[in-house]
Structure 1
Amino acid sequence: MPAKLNPASKPSPASARDLPSTGRLITTAELATHNTPASCWLAVRGKVYDVTSFLDRHPGGRDLLLFAAGRDATQVFETYHQFKVQGTLPKYLIGDLADNELPVFPAPSPFFVAVKERVYEHLRTNVTSDPKWAVGMWVRYAGIYSMVVAAWYAQLWVWPQGGWAQWLAAVVLGFFCAQIGLNPLHDASHFAVTHSPWVWKLLGATHDYLNGASYVVWIYQHMLGHHPYTNIPNADPDIATNEPDVRRIKAVQPWYKHYLHQEWFVPVLYGVLSIKTRIQDVTILYTLKKNDNIRINPLTAWHEAVFWSGKAFFVFYRLVVPVVFAGLSVGRTLALFLVADLVSSYWLALTFQANHVVEETKWPEPNERNEMSIDWAEMQVATTQDYAHDSAFWTIATGSLNYQAVHHLFPEISQYYYPMIAPVIMKTCQEFGVKYLVQRTFWDALGSHLKYLKVLGLNTHEEDLKKKEAKAQ
């Protein structure tokens, strides 16, 4: 194990912001126009870099830079690189960022530096292979894809006459389609499986073809939105709401009468997640061109082809094949589709909600200049809840998201190693006074989500918040 690091003893790494001013101010509006292969700019720590010439030499592939282009990519850059990599940036420097489109964070704190240093040292000491490589994960992927094919085939040709077995096959299909989202898709979207951009692309494409939902939209929502800005209103797409919305999950949302008892009806609505996602894919990419406040850059030919062919194949294998080739009625086909979709939706939605939308997690907000006062790594722990660390079932069945704080701090590491590095992170949190939330079971975590919905649904909640704020002052 690495030697103990005193919280105050190690300074934060040199920041890109420490570079001298170029004398050229670039607004976020101007930066946003440089988001193509012909002109690829991005910002890190208040400095703007033209990385167009680096696109084809980037070790992570050109797609990653094109996703990040035209925006402040500080948190993504610092998450997926060691701090020393900042030394490669100055040669591409072209200007200073004049304003903040989305929240910006202080330079990495001693906690962030220490936890990153200790986890990688622990992996170097205890893991002989690359932390992006684990044979066990490929076995898991193979099992997931095999079960999707087997369950789909069984409901059409093994038990085509109906009965409980056919419905069971639909349930199994839905569960393992959700596992595609929690495992190969999720791992690929964080580049946590091998160092090959083509592996990430191909694994991501299976989500398009087998689930009918877009890998590209997920990248923008999850990797560029949710992870950098976890639980921050108007920045994290995962907590985006309308006015009014079907549910109240943020204290900043005005209260309406229909929020009363939302803990009873909102979880039922989670069943439409899959259908809602497939429809929103189209509106996000081609109508809105943004997901909440995360802008969508122009698609490459590859991603556009995968998007539309994925939608077409999904309709073909889930709706056309059962009727035309397996001889099922339209009604039976739609019913089986709905059962599988409900299972997928509930499994995914409840897994995600139990991690962030719960009683004890924080909902940080920036000041009027879009500046955050909390360190980014500390915020990841504060906005996240773990559960069931001692359960192999929940670790496998949730794609290791029962170690959500571990995942948010180290998304680039294979989930296979989360149980190994969790004690290192928890010990570092304890040393630095960072509260680490973990529930004993999944049901405790889910219960916390339902209790949170209940509290936010009460019309007294805003008054309680005002009283707490007044008392704090």
Structure 2
Amino acid sequence: MFACYFISAIGMAGVGMGVMHDAVHGSYSKHKSVNTWVGYTLDMVGASSMVWHLQHNVLHHSYTNIDEHDDDINAPFFLRFSPNGQQNNLHKYQHLYAWFFYSLSTLSWVTAKDFIRFTRYYNKGLVKGGEKAYKRGIVKLIFLKLSYFAVVLGLPIIFSPFSVGMIILGFIMMHFVTGLVITMVFQIAHIVEDVNFPKADCEGVVEGERILHQLATTCNFAPKSKMLFWFVGGLNFQVEHHLFPDICHVHYREIAPIVKATAEEFNVPYYSKPHFFMAVLDHFKMLYLLGNAPKLESIKA
């Protein structure tokens, strides 16, 4: 049973990164309806494609690494992902305990986080259609969440010979694995030592051009690994993805040399780590710096 849940965890991560991600960006197919339906694979594994579109496509891609605007680095008080964020004494140890909370990320996602974020996005005016659309969205979230739990927990409880406690334990383990894998892949692309963390002025304006901003805030990893490329849906080529989010990930390996050569020609950043574990180590170091640096100026900002 635990082996099956572990395989499911790897499958969930693969579906999220290699299938849903392209679909919600509109790059899985040339047909909008196909992208919409394939995007529902995220709902099938417990999260919301509707909320993900707002959090990822709208906020993360528009405001990459900008504190209070990029929702990927808007963290709870015990985590600090930007040198422009508030610092407290707990952050001194975040390089040690952050990994545990990464493991909890999808468990939180399939329970409360989608509702919290959708409500916050509605209050920010990001939900088109006003109050009626917000209420419909909440009903849709409830229906899809109940459907997910009915299948993933309900059916095993009814039909399998295992106890309820064992099934719940397997379910939690599955999300621990999925959460750690997915969070690491996204974090090591943006929260590393090389990249920048631009700061908005008092009017919310960030100076610079969009393409240069994406190059300065994003880092590739393990570009030569075909196996990793397949598993993470090309997200090891984060630079290419952030420059061209409407291009399907299967083309990233071919366009990467062109992007790199162009960046070198114009003397602009093109960050890349040769190996996955080197990128993980760099993320570990960055978590330490963000928690222990005495001044914001001690970190590249």
1:248 correspondence with 2:80: yes
1:263 is aligned, of 66, 91, 95, to 95
1:323 correspondence with 2:157: yes
Provide the rounded CA distance (Å) in 2 between the counterparts of 1:202 and 1:301.
22
Greater radius of gyration (CA): 1
In structure 2, the residue matched to 1:297 is 128
Amino acid across the alignment from 2:54? Y
What is the deviation of 1:179? 1.2
Provide the rounded CA distance (Å) in 2 between the counterparts of 1:302 and 1:200.
21
1:86-97 matched pairs, under 5 angstroms: none
What is the deviation of 1:428? 0.6
In structure 1, the residue matched to 2:241 is 407
Provide the rounded CA distance (Å) in 2 between the counterparts of 1:463 and 1:419.
36
1:185 is aligned, of 20, 24, 34, to 20
Amino acid across the alignment from 2:113? Q
Higher helix share: 2
1:235 correspondence with 2:69: yes
Provide the rounded CA distance (Å) in 2 between the counterparts of 1:263 and 1:395.
26
Do 1:359 and 1:448's aligned partners in 2 also have CA atoms closer than 8 Å? yes
Do 1:271 and 1:342's aligned partners in 2 also have CA atoms closer than 8 Å? yes
1:400-439 matched pairs, under 5 angstroms: 400-439=234-273
1:281 correspondence with 2:95: no
Provide the rounded CA distance (Å) in 1 between the counterparts of 2:293 and 2:222.
33
Amino acid across the alignment from 2:116? T
In structure 2, the residue matched to 1:373 is 207
1:204 correspondence with 2:26: no
Structure 1 residues 369 and 207: alpha-carbon distance in aligned structure 2, compared to 1, 3 A threshold: same
Structure 1 residues 463 and 201: alpha-carbon distance in aligned structure 2, compared to 1, 3 A threshold: closer
Which 5+ residue runs of structure 1 have no aligned equivalent?
A: 1-165
What is the deviation of 1:274? 0.7
1:435-446 matched pairs, under 5 angstroms: 435-446=269-280
Choose between structure 1 and 2 for higher RCO, CA contacts under 8 A separated by at least 6 residues.
Answer: 2
Provide the rounded CA distance (Å) in 2 between the counterparts of 1:332 and 1:167.
9
In structure 2, the residue matched to 1:157 is none
Cα deviation digits, residues 382-427 of structure 1 (max 9, x gap): 1001011111011111111110000000111110010000001111
TM-score by length of 2: 0.92
Q: Secondary structure at the match of 1:420?
A: helix
What is the deviation of 1:196? 1.6
Do 2:19 and 2:233's aligned partners in 1 also have CA atoms closer than 8 Å? no
Do 1:208 and 1:306's aligned partners in 2 also have CA atoms closer than 8 Å? no
What is the deviation of 1:301? 9.6
Do 1:221 and 1:294's aligned partners in 2 also have CA atoms closer than 8 Å? no
Amino acid across the alignment from 2:24? S
In structure 2, the residue matched to 1:173 is 8
Amino acid across the alignment from 1:283? I
Amino acid across the alignment from 1:367? D
Do 2:27 and 2:246's aligned partners in 1 also have CA atoms closer than 8 Å? yes
Q: Secondary structure at the match of 1:201?
A: helix
Which deviates more, 434-443 or 304-313?
Answer: 304-313
Which deviates more, 378-387 or 196-205?
Answer: 196-205
- Aligned positions, number: 297
Provide the rounded CA distance (Å) in 2 between the counterparts of 1:455 and 1:335.
35
Provide the rounded CA distance (Å) in 2 between the counterparts of 1:302 and 1:254.
36
What is the deviation of 1:255? 2.3
1:386 is aligned, of 220, 227, 232, to 220
What is the deviation of 1:455? 0.8
